[in-house]
Amino acid sequence: MAQEARPAHCLVFPYPLQGHINPMHQFSKTLVSKGIKVTLVTTKFMFNSFQQLSGSMPVETISDGYDVEGKASAESLEVYFARFKQVGSETLKKLIEKLNSTGFPVDCIVYDSLMSWVLDVVKSSGLVGAIFFTQSCAVDNIYYHVKQGLIKLPVVDRVSVPGLPVLEPLDVPSFIHNPGSYPATRNMVVNQFLDIDKVDWVLCNTFYELEEEVIQWMSKHLRLRAIGPTIPSKYLNNQKTVEDETDTGLQMFKANIDSCMNWLNDQQDHSVIYVSFGSMAQLDDVQMQELTYGIKQSGKHFLWVVRASEEGKLPKGFMEETSGKGLVVQWCSQMEVLAHKALGCFVTHCGWNSTLEALCLGVPMVAIPIWTDQGTNAKFVADVWRIGVKVDIDKNGVFKGEMVEHCIREVMDGEKGKEIKKTSKRWMEMAREAVREGGSSDMSINEFVASFTQHSKS
């Protein structure tokens, strides 16, 4: 009797940050639904930091050289990146050797674009390699042009990039219009395209219909496929959901799930503004005061996520004064909040994960970008996809509370808000169609899977 072919085995290796792990973890679950054996790879420190990452998917760890205290103990980001490359390469090779000896040898590695050094391990191991971009294709294309020397730094005038609208300096990522702000991070994001022509696949967490023009342009130069949006399938109303639907991803902070849901259940439909700036973005004291003013003056009920490290920036007595109108929590399950019928608007920093989540659930946005790729995402939210409005921000990155109030009222009550709500629903349906069987992202994933399943049969 012929031996039954083993399933193809794929390692999925995100950069060790919550905003990178979650989309790649969701993509991993999609691969599992296609019959692929997936092992999620993370650093030892990150694994020990998980508040939640349930489910049956196996997780293996490697070292970044900072197993006990994490990258915060490194002398600088430059030192951390260099150490991660050196130690990570060695321990990843050992992990592959260990797995190859277990009867489930590795066929493919999907790795985060911030760790371009993984390509050397892929090639030396004779595997199929796929680089995974957790940013939008628009942002990817900007970084690609910087790497090619086609965009000169700093960006002080309007720039024209193929497949994109004309961009003002504040519409490009902060590392580009202000390249001296975080030089180590700037080098890392630009070097995502180091040796990109040697990669077998370029996967992007977006969908074709959302970024058609830029995807068409980039696909002429790279073997690029849009495979998103990578959010839990239960929120996309898929015809066939994947396993572990109670698992919505990694949580680095303990969520106040019950208190949030109970409070939302008591609110009227589409009446609440949800305010969150993600797991990393920080506002200074003055900007926190302005945001507080805008939220309070809008007169709307609000659910506001203020991380423990940021609570001290709230005005004295704010929570007591607004207890009848709002709820302030340190963390929540964002997908559950965005999916709640009480939600009317999302005041967001426009991180790419948050942007996609709101888009997929049809929630209009008020965009207040802070740094990195958020300015570009906000530009598309307001001017290209027309699913929100953007708070005016000056060249120093400062916004006013009156503008926050105006934007909230415009989305919640204004005539423009009515059109935004209709447009948001249309994009929601297109996102869901992309991941359904036969949709654009589903077909791209099938094509990718077919490219390495032959390894397991040889």
The pLDDT value recorded for residue 181 is 85
What single string gives the DSSP state of each residue in 392-454?
---TTS---HHHHHHHHHHHHHSHHHHHHHHHHHHHHHHHHHHHSTTSHHHHHHHHHHHHHHH
Domain ranges of the chain: 9-249+434-457, 257-431
Which residue would you say has higher pLDDT here, 248 or 355?
A: 355
pLDDT at residue 242 greater than cutoff 60: no
Q: What is the mean pLDDT of residues 399-416?
A: 97
Q: Which helix (H) or strand (E) holds 187?
A: helix 183-190
CATH number for the domain formed by residue range(s) 9-249+434-457: 3.40.50.2000
HSE (side-chain half, CA atoms, 13 Å) at 458: 8
Work out the number of other CB atoms within 10 angstroms of the CB of residue 94: 12
Q: What is the mean pLDDT of residues 272-287?
A: 91
The pLDDT value recorded for residue 117 is 96
Which residues are catalytic, by number? 20, 112
The pLDDT value recorded for residue 453 is 87
Q: What is the mean pLDDT of residues 173-201?
A: 92
The pLDDT value recorded for residue 239 is 44
Instruction: Classify residue 387 by its DSSP letter.
Output: S
C-alpha 359/C-alpha 428 separation (Å) is 6
The pLDDT value recorded for residue 319 is 86
- In sequence order, what are the beta bridge partners of 109? 11, 129
Strand residues in 145-269 grouped as ranges (E): 201-204, 224-226
CATH number for the domain formed by residue range(s) 257-431: 3.40.50.2000
Q: How confident is the model at residue 66 (pLDDT cuts 50, 70, 90)?
A: very high
User: Which of the listed ranges 9-13, 72-76, 275-279 does the model predict with the highest average pLDDT?
Assistant: 9-13
Angstrom CA distances, 120 to 17, 114, 161, 338, 354, stand at 22, 14, 30, 40, 32
pTM: 0.94
The pLDDT value recorded for residue 179 is 87
